[in-house]
Structure 1
Amino acid sequence: MAINLYQLQYDDETSASPESGLLTYDCRANPEFLKREVAHLIRFYDDIVADADTNDYFALLSPKFNYKTGLTAEDVKEFINNNCGKDIYLFNPYPMHVYQYINMWEQAEKCHPDIIALTNLLFQMSGLPTDVSLHRHTVEETVYCNYWVAKKSFFDQFIPFVRKLDFTIDTSDSQIKQKFFSDANYQTPACYYCFIFERLLTTFLVLNNNIETFPYIYQENIGKYKMNKIQKKFYFTKNRIDFDRWDSDKYKEINTTLLKDFFYFLNPGFENVRIKLLRRLLISIQKKINIIRMDSYIMKKIVSYSRNEI
């Protein structure tokens, strides 16, 4: 079993350094300004993965992987070697998103309006009718930024799925195609296509729940800058462990309203308060109260949800 971690090189500044432990996959000749990492991943499969041993592992990571996760290539390899045999390992750079949203598409809709309708249209056009907004994405499926490492055998399943959806867009009429390549309201120029295809891995895992996944769980000295106090109180304690266990066991029958109640506990909003300073004060006070009562709240909710779902 070999673990092959590649870093995407898209300009002269982004090749993997010798000390990083990463290999370089050079895409400078094919920058793919519209399809970006998706096109690179398909080409990476054809060039590197397709003829490899079925049990070897591969990843195509962005140059920001270490910055976003705090992890090195050595950390990743050690994690895989200590938890051998899974089909895919997830290194989600936004771990709290699992507990802030029902799924990745809800988060996407907030940032890129109308992306859910566009994604459902894509699945329908591809002969794969599903409503992505109805999926619950747990810690065992959720990963952003294509930060994952998988067996060659997993790539053999996943890449045809990606190609099928990509082909659907490429062969659609010009008006529909334009929707996928229109601006997605991002901080830098980017189209809907990129943000849809970034989330396909997680959707594929939900649709194929026989695949063995293994998520990386951050320690207190990693990724703390992404979390506020109430999130840290939840994530770095038994509360998250209890919630993840319940979530993984019951997510197919979970009542969305009940989950929303829990998510609001972690992220009180007071949206009806129009005075900004007052709203901020109320949120701050409520978060402090919730930190104090979190331990009992989590267990009460889990018991309550379980009774309602059985």
Structure 2
Amino acid sequence: MTSNAAGMLTDLQTPSAQKIFQIFYDENSKAQLDPGFIPLDNSRSARADWYEFWAIWNFLKTAELDEDCWYGFLSPKFREKTGLSSDFVSKALGGLEPDFEVALFTPNTHELAYYQNPFEHGEAHHPSLLGIAQSFFGSRYPGLDLREHVSCLRTSAFCNYVVAKPRYWRSWMALADGLLAYADASVPQSGSPWESLVPYQGRMVPIGVFIQERLPAVILGREPFKTFVPKHVLEFAQYSLQQRRFLFACDYLKESYIYTGDPQLLAAFRQIRRNALGDTVKFIF
């Protein structure tokens, strides 16, 4: 995927207004960094339980942002998860018109396509996530029902693989401040669900880590941003032709529903995914 993606960008220019950081936690993760990104040290984090979320929040709380600059905060596994390099990201941003504000370089696009939103995906993999997330987002946005929320490739991303201009990051920061305060206020309560640990890659991780990486789905679903997604992502280029047809249909129906509100489109999406995947994938909605 890397070579094909890079080939699409050979004629684009790299802009100077980019500050894309790559977070590291120790010497091992530091060794994984792409030299084209700016290293961001999170080895002495005051809140290691929040992983990269704390590094992003800690940077943004004091930084003076340039309104025309792109900012991103990527994990050390960015290339491993996406197949993309700093050169690809930089050139992709360099080819965009000035009115673009958000660029998404998400991995696992198949899961973003056939789940209704990242919260359904989260509940399928980490039971109880949906209810805990609903308690927070419902307190911020009365009337927001995550079971009814619909995301597509243009309005969601995994792993905080979002590169954006300051207007997006101000929205992110407002929501991140609220999430930190809400989680910290909840934990002292006996039996608080925010104390829950869930398995991830051989270790136990606080549930809040998986809620924070779903902030983009709420922000992009509620606010209008002109968003870029690489062509190979939108076309599901790394999948077989049969898989591409299915995934494209899922994402197309969801995106069309977002713009029209036609319930028949959402019903068609749910029917298509169940017909194609049956019981092989756990769906919540």
TM-score (norm 2): 0.81
- Residues 32-80 of structure 1 show CA distances to partners (whole Å, capped at 9, x for unaligned) of 3311122111012135xx3131111110100110111111011011111
Within 5 A, what are the aligned runs for 1:1-310?
2-15=17-30, 20-30=35-45, 32-47=47-62, 50-84=63-97, 85-126=99-140, 128-172=142-186, 174-175=188-189, 178-187=192-201, 188-208=203-223, 210-218=224-232, 224=238, 227=239, 230-234=242-246, 246-247=256-257, 249-250=259-260, 252-255=261-264, 256-269=266-279
Separation of aligned partners in 1, 2:126 and 2:23: 25
The AA in structure 2 aligned to 1:56 is: C
In the alignment of these two chains, the number of paired residues is: 263
The AA in structure 2 aligned to 1:267 is: L
In 2 relative to 1, CA 91–127 (structure 1 residues): closer, same or farther, beyond 3 Å? closer
Q: Relative to structure 2, which stretch is displaced further, 8-17 or 262-271?
A: 262-271
In 2 relative to 1, CA 69–223 (structure 1 residues): closer, same or farther, beyond 3 Å? farther
- Partner SS, residue 136 of structure 2: helix
Q: Which residue of 2 aligns with 1:307?
A: none
Separation of aligned partners in 2, 1:30 and 1:113: 28
The AA in structure 1 aligned to 2:268 is: L
- Partner SS, residue 163 of structure 2: strand
Q: Relative to structure 2, which stretch is displaced further, 67-76 or 80-89?
A: 80-89
Structure ID, larger Rg: 1
**CA contact under 8 A between 2:22 and 2:73: conserved in structure 1?**
yes
- Partner SS, residue 5 of structure 1: strand
The AA in structure 2 aligned to 1:28 is: S
Separation of aligned partners in 1, 2:47 and 2:212: 14
The AA in structure 2 aligned to 1:134 is: E
Please report how far the alpha carbon of residue 9 of structure 1 lies from its aligned counterpart in structure 2 after TM superposition: 1.1
Please report how far the alpha carbon of residue 244 of structure 1 lies from its aligned counterpart in structure 2 after TM superposition: 7.0
- Partner SS, residue 89 of structure 1: strand
The AA in structure 1 aligned to 2:216 is: L
Aligned Cα RMSD in Å?
A: 2.9
Instruction: Please list every run of 5 or more consecutive structure 1 residues that lacks an aligned counterpart in the other structure.
Output: 272-310
Separation of aligned partners in 2, 1:240 and 1:173: 38
> Percent of aligned positions with the same letter in both sequences?
21
In 2 relative to 1, CA 127–257 (structure 1 residues): closer, same or farther, beyond 3 Å? closer
The AA in structure 1 aligned to 2:274 is: Y
TM-score (norm 1): 0.75
Separation of aligned partners in 2, 1:177 and 1:87: 41
- Partner SS, residue 40 of structure 2: strand
**CA contact under 8 A between 2:101 and 2:165: conserved in structure 1?**
yes
The AA in structure 1 aligned to 2:82 is: T
Instruction: Please list every run of 5 or more consecutive structure 2 residues that lacks an aligned counterpart in the other structure.
Output: 1-15
- Partner SS, residue 140 of structure 1: coil
Please report how far the alpha carbon of residue 247 of structure 1 lies from its aligned counterpart in structure 2 after TM superposition: 4.8
Please report how far the alpha carbon of residue 11 of structure 1 lies from its aligned counterpart in structure 2 after TM superposition: 0.5
Question: Which one has a larger percent helix, Structure 1 or Structure 2?
Answer: 1
